[in-house]
Structure 1
Amino acid sequence: MANAKIIALAGSLRKNSFNHAVIEHAAELAKQQGAEVEILSLAELDLPMFNEDVEAQGVPANVQILKDKLRSADAILLASPEYNGSITAVLKNAIDWASRTEAGAEPAFRNKVVALFAASPGGLGGLRGLNHVRDILSGIGALVLGDQLAVPAIHTLLDENGKISDAGASEKIGGLTSQLVEVTSKLNS
């Protein structure tokens, strides 16, 4: 059985994003379990806002990169900050672009196993936004794991380099990551 190919991304543009810290930690744990993991940065992709007029002129190069990488993956580790109780605009925009299909192409999220994470300094850890992400991804054919993880008070769980240093948080992130790797491996066998 081949190793699971996983794309990891956070729905944030901020350089020192708490959600980037969670997704980087999850990606490292998935690699330790034998998965191939590539972390994508939405800031580096710098996707234009979705617009059918732009799409009609040709899919922007970075949008095509995003679609191709998602299509080639078996699974997705996704951390979504919560903005005003919902999904971030940058993540929604990326999903909107990636969900557009070309003739003969598989939808980018269809049948991808997805683990959802959120992190916030607040007491709910971004939990409210995860329901919106789940609804969107389920609606476009992703296989979103039933379990999800919201990490509250994330700012207290990081070391001076912005890395997860709390053993309890690491264990919880590892648990959901392991579930993603396991389910993906079973589906691929």
Structure 2
Amino acid sequence: MADIVIDLLFLSGSSHIGSAHWRLATAAAALTSRAFGSEATATVIDLSDVDLPNFSESDGVAQTMPSDAVTLRNRLLQANGVFMSSDEYTGTYSAVLKNTIRWLSALDAEGETPFRGLPVVLCGASSRGTGALRGQPALAQLLTELGAHVISQHLEMGTAAGLFDEQGRLRQRFERQLVENGLFQLIEAGKNIRVSNP
């Protein structure tokens, strides 16, 4: 399967440019291009570019979906895997990420969501010492309910303050963790999707 090039998306749960999770998703995409450039393409999705109103339940939500939600939904449907760097707020994930996922998972006529069968790696840190240990299980449960294949060896990278060196680059031990525990599995899972659905 070495000749298969898969399409990976990198998404931060924060819409704040320059936040630790925005930098982490960007760094993971750059690392993918360096370490797996012949096997995968890496695209960063910036939630600050996505204009979505607060989601509210209604019978006609699929017909009134905002254009940015449609565009992002279609992009997910094209992807072979997602790397998601998630903030932690009071033991769960961010409101902006929750709102985005609710729009993206609004059911279409076939009852499908763009997450169904999609491999997802979760990665997170926080300003406190717990990393993303509390927020990730809730996000993993949501994505699993939506049909995603959440890769079990997800990443919890400690406090955000320790992720980057003095130059703002991801520290080497975290780069190794991303490659060994997350990106490799995501790429392999993405290849399996491509083989199953050429």
Does the alignment reach a TM-score above 0.5?
yes
Correspondence list, 1:95-174, <5 A: 95-104=101-110, 106-160=112-166, 162-164=168-170, 166-174=171-179
Aligned-residue identity in percent: 30
Of residues 31, 54, 66, the one that matches 1:29 is 31
Residue type of the alignment partner of 1:37 = A
- For 1:182 and 1:114, the matched residues in 2 are separated by 12
**1:4-38 CA distance string (max 9 Å, x none):** 11111011122221111211121122223131121
State TM-score, norm by structure 1.
0.91
- For 1:74 and 1:173, the matched residues in 2 are separated by 18
- For 1:9 and 1:114, the matched residues in 2 are separated by 10
Correspondence list, 1:9-28, <5 A: 9-28=11-30
- For 1:79 and 1:95, the matched residues in 2 are separated by 14
Are the equivalent residues in 2 in contact too, given 1:30–1:178 (CA < 8 A)? no
105-114 or 131-140: bigger deviation = 105-114
Query: Relative contact order: is structure 1 or structure 2 higher (C-alpha 8 Å, sep ≥ 6)?
Result: 1
Give 1:104 deviation, angstroms. Answer: 4.9
Q: Structure 1 residues 188 and 56 mapped into 2: Cα distance closer, same or farther (>3 Å)?
A: closer
Are the equivalent residues in 2 in contact too, given 1:81–1:118 (CA < 8 A)? yes
Residue type of the alignment partner of 2:117 = N
Give 1:57 deviation, angstroms. Answer: 6.0
Are the equivalent residues in 2 in contact too, given 1:6–1:38 (CA < 8 A)? yes
- For 1:28 and 1:104, the matched residues in 2 are separated by 36
Match in the other structure for 1:39: 44
Structure 2 SS opposite 1:147: coil
- For 2:135 and 2:69, the matched residues in 1 are separated by 24
Structure 2 SS opposite 1:22: helix
Are the equivalent residues in 1 in contact too, given 2:132–2:158 (CA < 8 A)? yes
Mind listing any 5+ residue stretches in structure 2 that lack a counterpart? none
Are the equivalent residues in 1 in contact too, given 2:65–2:103 (CA < 8 A)? no
**1:84-140 CA distance string (max 9 Å, x none):** 000111111111111113335842101100000002232121221000010000001
Mind listing any 5+ residue stretches in structure 1 that lack a counterpart? none
Q: Structure 1 residues 52 and 157 mapped into 2: Cα distance closer, same or farther (>3 Å)?
A: closer
- For 2:167 and 2:68, the matched residues in 1 are separated by 29
